[in-house]
Amino acid sequence: MFNKLEGVEQRYEKIEKLLSDPEVVQNRDAYEKYAREHAELSEIVDTYRLYKKVIQQISENTELLKDVDPEIKELAREEIDILTEKEKKSKEKLKHLLTPKDPNDNKNVLIEIRAGTGGEEAGLFAGDLFRMYAKYAETRNWKIEIMDHHETGVGGLKEIVAMIHGKGAYSRLKYESGTHRVQRVPTTETQGRIHTSAVTVAVLPEAEEVEIHIDPGELKFDVYRSTGPGGQSVNTTDSAVRITHLPSGLVVTCQDEKSQHKNKAKALKVLRARLLDRMVQEQNQKRSEERKSQIGSGDRSERIRTYNFPQGRVTDHRVGLTLYKLESILQGDLDDIIDALTTYYQSQQLQNADISTHKITDQTITMDHP
């Protein structure tokens, strides 16, 4: 690992010189490429330099243990204890920083929430989950764009598809995919019995046009009048859009905008995200199996998280985390859960990753001058 870090530091220093090279400055594409690489490597290099400084200080204090003055020796021991802890933390941080990054982490996300088992109660909880994610997005200054939604007759949601725009949105929300189970007494329950319902959540990274090329000839477009709850018409023009991707059979609808053009643009965004996700699944069968097990069928027996209203608790079954602050979580206080999931999956990745084949390091060391 430390041989690689030496290479990273050398590459970082080379990039710093390149960024001040007039030839590179005049080449916009090259300059932006090196600026991005510089930003990606800066935290690794800063941490590595701190680590080397700490190692040097430990060495210097170890020499002081040979001093005849007992006070100096005692101060040296205390300093070594402090520095050893810093060394440990720096080493762990370096391992984390060198873990291969998910290239989608900084992307916007498409989040799809659908009512599963439980009828009207599942629809009501689907609405609760959407509001939870909307409030979480608000705390991070992200913007939400509704792509499509279908309401139930009692104020719930059969499904809702939304794009969340914000740096790091996918990195924070990617572990939310799966079946969310709710246990509570529905408002329609007269005997006070607790019902169990389920809602599925799918989180997909937004796909750029350059990532997914869609042949217009492979698309079938249908337009129709948008409708509201119960089927009543809410628009007098054919503004709603349905797009069918003929090769895959994927169907996307959008009716939230009054403009057919805007609905078409939104539907294409959703289609690209779903096609990208399907492509990645086909390329990586293991990930495909993991995603299927996460999302499941919406049945109440398959769940990643349970929201128990009578006990005021939320349990994430993947990491065994239980928090007794359900109301706070439904108000968007998700960081404790997301941090625990991120730590868990990163530790799993660290155990499986071969640091010596770190993708970014290998690329950056071999990249040539433009």
Q: Say what percent of the chain tops pLDDT 90.
A: 47
Quote the tokens at residue 109: 């996300």
Q: Is 230 helix (H, G, I), strand (E, B) or coil?
A: helix
235-283 pLDDT, tens digit each: 556 778 888 888 888 888 888 777 888 888 888 888 888 887 777 667 5
43: helix, strand or coil: helix
Write out the DSSP string of 84-152: HHHHHHHHHHHHHHHSPPPTTTTS-EEEEEEE-TTTHHHHHHHHHHHHHHHHHHHHTT-EEEEEEEEE-
Same domain for 115 and 52: no
One domain, residues 93 and 132: no
Q: Are strands 305-308 and 157-165 parallel, antiparallel or unpaired?
A: unpaired
Q: Is the dihedral of CA 253, 258, 263, 264 positive or negative?
A: positive
- Please state which of the ranges 156-165, 201-210, 313-322 shows the lowest mean pLDDT: 201-210
Q: Domain range holding 87?
A: 2-100+358-366
- Please name the residue that has the structure tokens 């530790």: 347
How far is residue 300's CA from residue 307's CA, in Å, rounded to a whole number? 12
Give a yes or no: residue 353 inside a domain. Answer: no
pLDDT one-digit tens code per residue, 181-225:
999 998 767 677 899 999 999 998 887 655 677 788 888 888 887
CB of 41 within 8 A of CB of 11? yes
Token pair listed for 357: 């084949």
Map tokens 């053009």 to a residue: 261
Specify the pLDDT at position 170: 93
190 and 127 co-located in one domain = yes
Domain count, the chain: 2
Let me know whether 341 and 248 are in one domain: yes
At 369, the pLDDT band (50, 70, 90 cuts) reads very low
- Please check whether residues 208 and 248 belong to one and the same domain: yes
Q: Cite the DSSP H helix spans in 99-192.
A: 120-139, 169-173
